[in-house]
Amino acid sequence: MGTVTAKAEETRARIMAEAVRHFRTLGYTKTTVADIAKACGMSPGNVYRFFDSKASINEAIARVMLAEVEERAEEILARSQPAAERLRGFLVEVHEMTRERYVDQSQVHEMVAAAISERWHVIEDHLRHMRAMLQRIIEDGVQSGEFRPVDAATTARCAHSAMGKFFHPILVAECIAEDLRTQASEMADFILQALQAGITLPDIEPPCETVRQRLDKAGT
């Protein structure tokens, strides 16, 4: 039984690897299940034994890509540094990963943009996870005395929204001509100063909703 399960997982991984390779070369929208099946040396029907649709393949790939960002964020969270340093590292380094993985690799960005605009469940799960990690850092900072007492959950949500321009692939792509690295660093410093001074961050509109409205207005 274990051998059968391992072989199935190996086949799933091969299908996903070929899907990613095709996304990078042909693009997300042009890649078909038939293309992926041919590259794997199997029929489309065999692919559907492991994924019931192309959408299922897309979600699985998006989950893996987002998990890589989450793993880096968890590493930052676990560093033996003061909360302020970890929070700054979290905010700046997540931006760097967003730019490198989702924007500089434009074909992959196409899939991530679709995942966000179509409200895939994996995106909502990812956002909750990222906000929860921010909350843990803020709670550490309050407990250590680095930050003034605040509602950590609300502050984490606000800080995450404030970094929308730097975390959100579509917004990063739109503002790519700007010096986003410097701006992300400045925003991180602003958030830290607010926490250290006990200033309540504005509860601004979440970036995903902002982008949805833009797409709706554009008729997409």
Residues lower than pLDDT 70 in the chain: 1-4, 102-109, 198-220
Query: At the top level of CATH, which class does the domain 54-218 belong to?
Result: mainly alpha
- Residue 20 amino acid letter: V
What's the pLDDT at 81? 95
CB 36 within 8 A of CB 57: yes
The reply to whether 54-218 shares the fold of 1-52 is no
Closest CA to 101 of 23, 164, 211: 23
CB 146 within 8 A of CB 84: yes
pTM: 0.78
Helix axes 152-162, 180-197, angle to 10 degrees: 160
Q: Which fold is adopted by the domain 1-52? A: Arc Repressor Mutant, subunit A (1.10.10)
d(CA 92, CA 70): 14
Per-domain residue ranges for the chain?
A: 1-52, 54-218
CB 209 within 8 A of CB 168: no
Q: pLDDT, tens digit, for every residue of 83-102? A: 999 999 999 999 998 887 76
Q: pLDDT, tens digit, for every residue of 156-198? A: 999 999 998 898 877 887 887 789 999 999 999 999 999 988 6
CB 74 within 8 A of CB 97: no
